[in-house]
Amino acid sequence: MTADLPQRVLTLLGAGTPFCLVTVVVARGMALNPGQKLIVFADGTTEGALGGGRLETAIREAAVCQLRREDIAVARFNPNGEPLPARRALRQAESDDALIEVSLEPMLPPPRLIILGAGHIAVPLARFGKILGFEIVVIDDRARFASRERFPDADDLVVAPFDEAITRQAITPWTYLVLVTRGHEHDEVALQRVVASPAPYIGMIGSRRRVLLVFQRLKAQGVPDHFLDRIYAPIGLDIGGRWPEEIALAIMAEIVKVRRGGKAQSLALRQRPAEQVPA
């Protein structure tokens, strides 16, 4: 990387662009030096170089993978790009074969929580999301609901039809979508707009009957099964919540579960008899 790396990093962070900063820690028997850096973006494109070839390809792939995990790691490779054991697994008497050790440091904007529907569950949900460090966006087609008075901590309030509003949102692998609208017709139009999105979490509130009805209608409109399988519905972890605050807590807990790879039990239907809606 060039000498203007710090400014480039600041520019990317200011623009909210996710990337992984790769730094050479050890370079034994290779034409690389400790401190050399490479910027790797979420789509695998890079700025800078670390020798090219299979080694750089392996480092790039590891950086993209680490970007999704959101934490810092150290990786080791031989000159052919083959991964090596972690340093702690090696004996002191290991040979002096050539290797490279790099740190992989994800540089990410705050995760975004987009809440579609500004009703009674959305209020505590926005509050919990803010406490957990999410950037909060609230969308509703009713100005009296999507108001600063009801959502003082929201980063953005959008008053517009749900389909139009969600289309204008930038949805990344760090965007979490929650549908708590007042009717299944709003859920349907919003879901149709995010079929191809990379959002890791799409949750929809509703009874089992409402959920299956929405899935039936979407499937009839050509929405693929693999997208329907991504939707967490009914929404939230199974904590027996009844009141808005309890339901909001269950939703936020499920988002944390998805983000961190937890094992808690969700309410979501994972094997849905799409041909039948319970009476």
Reported confidence tier of residue 87, pLDDT bands at 50, 70, 90: low
Note the pTM of the prediction, 2 decimals. Answer: 0.81
Q: How far apart are CA 157 and CA 148, in angstroms?
A: 8
Is pLDDT of 277 > 80? no
Q: What is the pLDDT of residue 27?
A: 87
Is pLDDT of 83 > 50? yes
Q: In whole numbers, what is the pLDDT of the chain averaged over residues?
A: 88
pLDDT digit string, tens, across residues 174-189: 999 999 998 888 988 8
Q: What is the pLDDT of residue 85?
A: 86
In CATH, the architecture of 112-260 is: 3-Layer(aba) Sandwich (3.40)
Is pLDDT of 199 > 60? yes
Of 164-168, 264-268, 273-277, the least confident: 273-277
Q: What is the 3-state secondary structure (H, E, C) of the chain?
A: CCCCHHHHHHHHHHCCCCEEEEEEEEEECCCCCCCCEEEEECCCCEECCCCCHHHHHHHHHHHHHHHHHCCCEEEEECCCCCECCCHHHCCCCCCCCCEEEEEEEEECCCCEEEEECCCCCHHHHHHHHHHCCCEEEEEECCCCCCCCCCCCCCCEEEECCHHHHHHCCCCCCCEEEEECCCCHHHHHHHHHHCCCCCCCEEEECCCHHHHHHHHHHHHHCCCCHHHHCCEECCCCECCCCCCHHHHHHHHHHHHHHHHHCCCCCECCCCCCCCCCCCC
Reported confidence tier of residue 208, pLDDT bands at 50, 70, 90: confident
CA angle 66, 69, 71 (to 5 degrees): 80
pLDDT digit string, tens, across residues 141-156: 999 999 999 999 999 9
Q: Which two tokens stand for residue 39?
A: 């910027």
| Range(s) within the chain of domains with CATH label 3.40.50.720 | 112-260
